Amino acid sequence: MADPEPACPIAPVVDIVFSRWTTPILWALHEYGRQRFVELARRISTITPKVLTQRLRQLERDGMITRTYHPEVPPRVEYEITELGRSLAPLFAELAEWGAAHLDAVQRAREAYDADPTRP
């Protein structure tokens, strides 16, 4: 059995960039700039605070975002996309174009598949 990474050179990139919540977080930081935790949570309303915290930590570890702590009362923490994270913008733009051009066809294919009585 082949090792999946050499068999698919984009697998490590997909693991970093396309985990469930990474893309919406990076998109929000790219589109709206530096944000506090509560602002991100409002923009991505379906994510739980626990998962948002986990993903932000992982993105910071991966070098995709920076976390700035301001020792005020109350403390303030802001997140911002890094140049490394911003370098994904062309990829996201391509995916948005692909979606606009092809998601209707995907939906039609799904509906046809689901309507086929010979499918289990």
Q: pLDDT by residue (tens digit) across 5-46? A: 567 888 888 888 888 899 999 999 999 999 999 999 999 999
Rounded Cα distance between 74 and 101, Å, is: 46
Residues 23 and 59 in one domain: yes
Which CATH number covers residue 69? 1.10.10.10
**Whole-prediction pTM value?**
0.80
Rg (CA), the chain: 18
Domains in the chain: how many in total? 2
How many other C-beta atoms lie within 10 A of the C-beta of residue 95? 13
* CA atoms of 40 and 34, how far apart (whole Å): 10
Same domain, 39 and 81: yes
**Looking at the DSSP assignment, which residues form a beta bridge with residue 77?**
69
Do 65 and 103 reside in the same domain of the chain?
no
What pLDDT digit, counting tens, does each position of 77-101 carry?
Answer: 999 999 999 999 999 899 999 999 9
98 and 81 share one domain: no
Domain containing 26 equals: 4-85
Residue 20 shares a structural domain with residue 46:
yes
**79 shares its domain with 106:** no
- Assess whether pLDDT exceeds 60 at residue 102: yes
- Identify which has the larger pLDDT, 2 or 41: 41
Cα separation, 99 vs 3, whole angstroms:
30
